[in-house]
Amino acid sequence: MRSKITDKAAPEFMRVKFWGVRGSTPTPQVENLRYGGNTSCVEVRLGDRIYIFDCGTGFRVLGHELEREFGDRPFAAHIFVSHFHWDHIQGIPFFRPLYDSPNSQFVFHSSSRTRGLEQVMAEQMASPYFPVNLDQMKAKRDFCDIQNGCLDMEDGIKIKTAWLNHPQGCLGFRLETKEGVLVYATDNEPGDPNFDKAVRKLAEGADILIYDAQYLPEEYEARRHGWGHSHWREAVNVVMESGAKELILYHHDPDHTDAIVDKVVRDARNYYPKVRAAAEGMEIVL
């Protein structure tokens, strides 16, 4: 399928910015402030084009920044939702451009393996859970159902997807452009041969691999099997076996302080040098 958004501006570089990096639940705690406590949201700019991956509480902060940038001017964005667990959708009701930008257009891409995103949004905002319903959103919204496969965007840009190993399902995304390749693969548990092979194929040769590293290896082995998440040692395995160039550890556990994440990065760099931990406000330019 081809996107409904059209934009003739040619990209000159890929800019990646992290707005939410935490897993499971927001953690507005002083010991987490350096990496950040907002849940999953990553923005990618290709020239004037905007691609957004997941809509956790970081999506709210991104909305404020987009309003500051565009003011009354309409804009468009593609939004890819990996799955519908709270930490990946809970920013949607607080994303102000959906209410305040009637001429802007947002194309949401997700899988309807269980139910469609529009229904999920409506249910999330239904009484008694939220005081405002979906009808208050004035922006133009489209909802596209995607599965495993490839989505053709503008100017040869492609989005490839693969199912990850997570309870109730989760999609990983591969953004292929002339400027570089980014893979967003959060909420994935190792150990299933088919899923392990699929995520390595998705990450193959990528310039940037954003990968789930919620647990410490010892936490995972002791009591986290079946919870749908990975750890930094498996993240290193994936980047090395896929030939991806840089690893960004992502979806930090709510109980992991800045000091713990610092140690995770040091330990991971003993195996692979190009490792960083995602932090709110961090930017990468290709």
State the residue for tokens 């099997």: 225
Q: What is the mean pLDDT of residues 67-96?
A: 97
Q: What is the mean pLDDT of residues 66-86?
A: 97
Q: What confidence score (pLDDT) does residue 188 get?
A: 98
Strand order in the sheet with 49-53: 140-145, 105-110, 76-80, 49-53, 41-46, 14-20, 283-285
54: left (phi over 0), alpha (psi -120 to 50) or beta: left
155: left (phi over 0), alpha (psi -120 to 50) or beta: left
Residue 170 near residue 81 (C-beta atoms within 8 A): no
Q: What confidence score (pLDDT) does residue 112 get?
A: 73
- CA–CA dist 258, 159 (Å, integer): 32
Q: What confidence score (pLDDT) does residue 12 get?
A: 74
- CA–CA dist 253, 22 (Å, integer): 6
Does 202 score more than 80 pLDDT? yes
Q: What confidence score (pLDDT) does residue 156 get?
A: 87
Task: Label residue 178 by pLDDT band (50, 70, 90).
Answer: very high
Q: Tell me the two tokens of residue 68.
A: 């500051």
Relative to beta strand 105-110, strand 140-145 is parallel
Listed in sequence order, the residues at least 6 apart from 157 whose beta carbon sits closer than 8 Å to its beta carbon are 46, 49, 175, 176, 177
Does 99 score more than 80 pLDDT? yes
CATH hierarchy code of domain 14-285: 3.60.15.10
Listed in sequence order, the residues at least 6 apart from 32 whose beta carbon sits closer than 8 Å to its beta carbon are 22, 256, 257, 258
Strand partners, 152: 2, 158
In this predicted model, what pLDDT tens digit does every residue of 204-256 receive, in sequence order? 999 999 999 999 999 999 999 999 999 999 999 999 999 999 999 999 999 99
Does 79 score more than 70 pLDDT? yes
State the residue for tokens 């995520």: 199
Please give the residue that has the higher pLDDT: either 148 or 72: 72
Task: Label residue 3 by pLDDT band (50, 70, 90).
Answer: very low
Task: Label residue 11 by pLDDT band (50, 70, 90).
Answer: low
State the average pLDDT for the chain: 94
Q: What confidence score (pLDDT) does residue 148 get?
A: 73
Q: What is the mean pLDDT of residues 131-151?
A: 91
In this predicted model, what pLDDT tens digit does every residue of 31-58 receive, in sequence order? 999 999 999 999 999 999 999 999 999 9
Residue 215 near residue 253 (C-beta atoms within 8 A): yes
- CA–CA dist 81, 111 (Å, integer): 8
Q: What is the mean pLDDT of residues 249-265?
A: 98
Q: Tell me the two tokens of residue 97.
A: 């451009």
- CA–CA dist 217, 243 (Å, integer): 22
Least confident of 19-23, 115-119, 134-138, 170-174: 115-119
Q: What is the mean pLDDT of residues 67-76?
A: 96
* Residue 42 CA: distances (Å) to CA of 27, 52, 122, 160, 184: 17, 6, 23, 17, 9
Task: Label residue 122 by pLDDT band (50, 70, 90).
Answer: very high
Q: What confidence score (pLDDT) does residue 266 get?
A: 98
Helix, strand, or coil here: 241? helix
